[in-house]
Structure 1
Amino acid sequence: MTVNALTPDSATPSAVIDRVSLVLEAFEGPGRLTLAQIVRRTGLPRSSAHRMLERLVQLRWLRRSGRDYELGMRLVELGSLAVHQDRLHRAATPLLHELHRATGLVVHLAVLQGTDVVYMDKVGDRLTAAIPTRVGGRQPAHCTAVGKAILAYSANRASNEDTLPRKTKYSINSPAQLNAEMAKVHAHGVAFDREESLAGFGCVAAPIGSLGEAVAAVSVCGPMSRMTFDQRLAAPVRMTAMNIWRNVDDGVQRVAPTLQQVRPLRGGPTARPATNGAGLQFA
């Protein structure tokens, strides 16, 4: 079967792919969609949209429940496969779990797409449900520690908007504030989120990449009562970021030896890095 069978009225395979892409992108965000909603979001003719939707249901790319459509299990399977085949994700996976064991906090791996961060992985235990992030989910980059860690090394961090959208009352909301924050991140190699993306929670992140650039970021997140914005969390996060990039460069999977000497946090961040470094304490 060829993709042309999806929409007989399409002239070329590329046109079919464009239409399939329109339909699938209509489902960005939570919830199911009706045929009428999909037609409005895509601008496709109703008859063409209906034929395409039904064929995508047969292929398990979509799932139909009554009159509603939602993303199907085949896309979940392909998405999971893509993530696990990704070189960065493969290099990071054992180190993300090691960082979680060392700190007891939720660990995120994220990349930048436009003005948002997209989460590639999330590792944790009971805390994971309290932090409403998910693999494949997005957040405004300027509101998150992982986003700020990447933006600090990006040439495209400037915004043409007078104000930036806020997630909480503590979120950065102006380009001037963002630039000032980026200067701190660039100077210290670590980014903080103090209730800027979720009230009551904070994060510490470090960029992943070669010197002077960031292709991704790793963070630890938890309730503010368990967070310290200094070397106690900055050191293991930065060490994890460096070892992830070393794994990417080497094409092998290793566990950072220094993190094996970090005690798990019990009731609050009291872990100590294996080597002593200058404390990072800036407001």
Structure 2
Amino acid sequence: MRSDDGKGVVDRVVEILETFNHEDRLNASQVSRLSQIPLSTCHRILTALTGAGLLERHGRDYHVGLRLWEIASHAPRSVGIQRLALPFMHDLLEVTDSPVHLAVRDGLDALFIERLTPSGHQYPRPEVGSRYPLHVTAVGLVLLAHAEPAVQEKYLDQPWRRFTPHTETDPRTIRRLLADIRTHRFAIADRQVNPDAVSVAAPITDSEGAVVAALSVNVPVAQRHEHSLAQAVQTSASSISRFSATPTPAPARRRFWSTTANSRDTEDSSH
């Protein structure tokens, strides 16, 4: 069934669920405003989603439900690689004492699926679940450099957002940079999103050698030492890649998963 604006029920369900990317808790009026779905229709869908356990309600507010989290936990491109990466991310955090990020490509964005930060780290982004254009983050540049040529061309043909005066927006420069990343197997994002931070990323591959994720470390500009960081990040990314090519026993997977609750107590700076 489609509404007058041509949108089907599934389209509207997705639009409503996506409003929770903005806030953890929202009331029906806020969901209606963010999704631009009429309030009466919004109420009906919210009631159905709550009944199915995809959302939960407390008073007037709704938030993501455990059933939605349970379904999402089976996504191999997010939770699967996150489970494998977490022990190595903890080691990288300990070695560098700097924020560590894990991201995958979703369309033309870098989607952050995990982050670890040192105690007392002050920057609140990116949160798990946040996304940035590929050209402005080190993880995004790695993912773009190893994307299919059609994806690269589509990305290079679109207008780009500038986050800081240092954000690179020249397609010719980016093309040269992507080639360099493929050759050297790491990327550097120098003050592209945060004018005070530099990040270094390396690719994570699957058993067939395809790049499925990217790992990064961020440091303040005043403490920049990108090439030594590149070696540390590449070593960790290579270890995750080797581990991902080997079947992991179920008990080990459960043990790694249990650590994620602690990892989400921290935040991170640039990307």
Q: Tell me the number of residue pairs that the alignment of Structure 1 and Structure 2 aligns.
A: 239
Residue 188 of structure 2 corresponds to which residue in structure 1? Answer: 192
Measured in 1, the distance between the counterparts of 2:121 and 2:75 equals: 19
Measured in 2, the distance between the counterparts of 1:202 and 1:138 equals: 18
Residue 66 of structure 2 corresponds to which residue in structure 1? Answer: 74
Please give the secondary structure, in 2, of the residue aligned with 1:112: strand
Measure how far apart 1:141 and its partner are.
1.3
Measure how far apart 1:118 and its partner are.
0.7
Residues 1-283 of structure 1 aligned to structure 2 (within 5 Å) = 16-30=9-23, 35-36=28-29, 38-39=31-32, 42=35, 44-57=37-50, 59=53, 61-63=55-57, 66=60, 69-74=61-66, 77-78=69-70, 81-82=73-74, 86-126=79-119, 128-154=121-147, 155=149, 156-158=151-153, 159-161=156-158, 163-209=159-205, 213-230=210-227, 232-252=228-248
Amino acid at match of 1:193: A
| Higher RCO (CA-CA < 8 Å; seq separation 6+) | 2
CA-atom RMSD, angstroms?
3.2
Amino acid at match of 2:212: V
Deviation per residue, 1:180-207 (Å, 9 max, x gap): 2112211211100111111101111001
TM score, norm. by length of structure 1: 0.72
Measured in 1, the distance between the counterparts of 2:30 and 2:16 equals: 11
Measure how far apart 1:151 and its partner are.
0.9
Measured in 2, the distance between the counterparts of 1:196 and 1:88 equals: 26
- The answer to whether the 8 Å contact 2:24/2:64 transfers is no
- The answer to whether the 8 Å contact 2:55/2:65 transfers is yes
Gaps of 5+ in 2: 253-271
Measured in 2, the distance between the counterparts of 1:238 and 1:50 equals: 49
Measured in 2, the distance between the counterparts of 1:111 and 1:19 equals: 25
Deviation per residue, 1:7-37 (Å, 9 max, x gap): 9x99xxxx65444223212333347655455
Structure of higher CA gyration radius: 1
Measured in 1, the distance between the counterparts of 2:132 and 2:59 equals: 29
Measured in 2, the distance between the counterparts of 1:91 and 1:31 equals: 27
- Name the CA shift for 1:122/1:31 in 2 (closer, same or farther; >3 Å): closer
Measured in 1, the distance between the counterparts of 2:41 and 2:48 equals: 11
Residue 278 of structure 1 corresponds to which residue in structure 2? Answer: none
Measure how far apart 1:127 and its partner are.
5.6
Amino acid at match of 2:135: H
Residue 270 of structure 1 corresponds to which residue in structure 2? Answer: none
- The answer to whether the 8 Å contact 1:53/1:62 transfers is no
Question: Percent identity between the aligned chains?
Answer: 28
Measure how far apart 1:221 and its partner are.
0.7
TM score, norm. by length of structure 2: 0.75
- The answer to whether the 8 Å contact 1:87/1:248 transfers is no
Moved more, 44-53 or 178-187: 44-53
- The answer to whether the 8 Å contact 2:54/2:68 transfers is no
Measure how far apart 1:90 and its partner are.
1.7
Measured in 2, the distance between the counterparts of 1:87 and 1:38 equals: 30
Measured in 2, the distance between the counterparts of 1:239 and 1:100 equals: 13
Measured in 1, the distance between the counterparts of 2:24 and 2:169 equals: 29
Measured in 1, the distance between the counterparts of 2:81 and 2:54 equals: 28
Residue 257 of structure 1 corresponds to which residue in structure 2? Answer: none
